[in-house]
Chain A
Amino acid sequence: MRTMKEKPMGQRIKEFVADFRRQWEIQSMVIPGIIFMIVFCFIPIYGLTIAFKSYTVIDTLDSAPWVGLDNFRIILSDRYFWDAVVNTLGISFLKLGIGFIIPIILAIMIYELNIGRYKKFVQTISYLPHFLSWIVLGGMLITWFSTSGLFNQLLLNLGLISQPQNILLDPGKYWWIATLSDIWKEAGWGTILYLAIMSKIDPTYYEAAKIDGAGRLRQIWNITLPNMKTIISLNLILTVSGLLGSNLDQTLVLMNSQNRERAEVINSYVYRMGMTQGDFSYATAVGLGVSIVSVILLVTANKVTSKLNDNQSVL
């Protein structure tokens, strides 16, 4: 039995090697990519083991002693970590609640525009903020919110406030600033995919609905929205799986010593613990924990939405 099985196996390997040699030219194009993936993706995945170690600057990845789940135990009693969790969830849920719906509404409104030129104009303007970096937008926000800046001037002129104040220094307002600035930047960009899907809806549906006496809102509700169900669920799944990972660039540029308690998110906490305080093992443990929870969220969201979508999995 054994010898019978081994022979074809050996032959298969021989064939493989021969084919591989014959394909050396095409293989020489793919191999660099594989090497890249092993070095820049799989070695860092192996590096995650330092979450279970006590790594100090003098150690190498392998020489550091194992400490089991110690790092994870410390996390659970770390007040600053939990502050970061609360802020991350607070900002993420605001972004989910408002930021998820706005692009859908916006896309429908743009789709319903009948004036070609105006449509193009609105689209061009709405994509623009996406191309600004968070550093640039952060700088702009700091200018707009400064006491002599645009925001205070508007409120003063409208008589809504009597004294200018810098709301970026007010921790109570940070979640809203983070959420609304993100929506301002990305809402228009978020419409592209929806608009592309809508352009593929068969126009005869609308004509039939019109003959049946359906108004514009009714058409949107009964034709446009059902046609976007799949893409909306897909987006929702991706958004839910990203609940624990809020924008690091945004936080780094908008956080200051005054609003820190409400601005610190998990990502910026990992950055601070790891890169500025050098506690590599601890920061890696936090990052790993977040990744695991995110995968669980992704799978759960996929299950739930597939139940809602008549048992058809979106992913």
Chain B
Amino acid sequence: MNRKVVKQDLDSRIFDALNVSLLFIFTVIIVVPLWNVIISSFSSGRALAEGGFIFWSKEFSLENYRAVFQDQSIWQSFFISVSKTFIGVVTHVFFCAMVGYGLSKRYIRGRKLYVALGVITMFFSGGMIPTYLLIKSLGLLNSFWVYIIPALFSYYDVVILMNFFRNVPDSLEESAKIDGAGDWRVFLKIFIPLSMPAMATIAMFNGVGQWNDFMTTKLYITDQALYPLQMKLYEIIVQSQTQSMQNVGGSAVIETTTKGVQLATIVITTLPIVAMYPVLQRYFISGMMMGAVKE
């Protein structure tokens, strides 16, 4: 009896030690490459061309960032990214909350039909080309609103909010209605303030999606003035790849300059998300659970 317990303890300790070290290796595999990108972005072109550093740069320099910020179009793209994310998130959350609130009332006429339409949109879509033709015929090509209008609505988010609204006690609504408030008033003054946690979660997912989205630009935008940071970065990447393939063994100067610019742009593009990360982290676990419950 006694021996068994001791043996199990030893097994358990070996398990723990192995577990801790394997997970440590796992975090190293994630952190080291990211760190390498950051320090490389602060390296001079010469150090980048030589390579040979992993944890610490040999020549600290701000030249990459200087080059990026001298380009006026980066500021323009940053502005587009920020505004499309901000406007997109606010309108998306409000629109989905509005529809979700309406559908959360079981007595609403036509509810069965509305829900059936919504469920169909979750499983079927026209795909890339028919959607492109629609966007084109709506005149949204090369318009800032193509970032906002098609992204207004998501039935998934409507379902999440609908379930959240149902958990608010009916008595709150009833007493407000007795005092003469209409549905809009109840929704705006009572339900929206009470649902801040749910809406913040959806805002966070949607915001990360808006910030990271580049397919919308790739498909519908050709006007460079409307490029967000992601598209700008994509252009720099494609450009540098064709360049480095063209001068295999050729001019190393051009290659390292574009590489530096690329690295600095990567860091600038990601910085807002990393800066928001502590705030985001609070929401995404509860968000994943809310998303899972509806399954």
User: Which A residues lie at the B interface, using CB under 8 A?
Assistant: 16, 19-20, 23, 25-30, 32-34, 36-48, 50, 61, 106, 109-110, 112-115, 118, 121-122, 124-129, 131-136, 138-140, 142-144, 146-150, 152-154, 157, 164, 169, 184, 188, 192-193, 196, 210, 213, 215-217, 231, 234, 248-249, 252-253, 256-258, 270-271, 274-275, 280, 283-284, 287-288, 291
Nearest A residue to B47 via CB reads A148
With the chains together, A128 CA to B270 CA distance in Å?
11
Given contacts A36-B153, A135-B234, A192-B288, contact A44 B131 (CB under 8 A): yes
The one of B31, B33, B150 in contact with A144, judged by C-beta atoms closer than 8 angstroms, is B33
User: B40 — which chain A residues lie within 8 A by C-beta?
Assistant: 143
The one of A33, A47, A274 in contact with B99, judged by C-beta atoms closer than 8 angstroms, is A33
- DSSP class of B's interface residues: helix, strand, loop or mixed? helix
User: B294 — which chain A residues lie within 8 A by C-beta?
Assistant: none
* Binary interface encoding of chain B residues 196-213 relative to chain A, with 1 for a CB under 8 A from any of its CBs, else 0: 000000000000100111
- Chain B contributes a number of interface residues (CB within 8 A of A) equal to 101
Q: Is the CB of B270 within 8 A of A37?
A: no
With the chains together, A219 CA to B128 CA distance in Å?
47
Report the minimum CB–CB distance from A142 to chain B (whole Å). Answer: 6
Q: Is the CB of A112 within 8 A of B19?
A: yes
Given contacts A37-B118, A217-B15, contact A146 B244 (CB under 8 A): yes
The verdict on B80 contacting chain A, using a C-beta distance below 8 Å, is no
The verdict on B117 contacting chain A, using a C-beta distance below 8 Å, is yes
Q: Is the CB of B15 within 8 A of A274?
A: no
Nearest A residue to B37 via CB reads A140
Number of A-B residue pairs having CB atoms within 8 Å of each other in the complex? 269
Q: Is the CB of A126 within 8 A of B27?
A: yes
User: B51 — which chain A residues lie within 8 A by C-beta?
Assistant: 147-149, 152-153, 164
With the chains together, A142 CA to B37 CA distance in Å?
11
The one of A16, A33, A37, A192 in contact with B98, judged by C-beta atoms closer than 8 angstroms, is A33
The verdict on B218 contacting chain A, using a C-beta distance below 8 Å, is yes
Q: Is the CB of A143 within 8 A of B129?
A: no
- DSSP class of A's interface residues: helix, strand, loop or mixed? helix
Sample (5) of A-B pairs whose CB atoms are under 8 Å apart: A43-B130, A133-B213, A148-B49, A150-B54, A216-B15
Nearest B residue to A287 via CB reads B127
Q: Is the CB of A19 within 8 A of B109?
A: yes
With the chains together, A106 CA to B25 CA distance in Å?
12
User: A144 — which chain B residues lie within 8 A by C-beta?
Assistant: 33, 36-37
Chain A interface: which of B67-75, B82-90, B276-284? B276-284
User: B240 — which chain A residues lie within 8 A by C-beta?
Assistant: 142
User: B224 — which chain A residues lie within 8 A by C-beta?
Assistant: none
User: A256 — which chain B residues lie within 8 A by C-beta?
Assistant: 241-242, 245
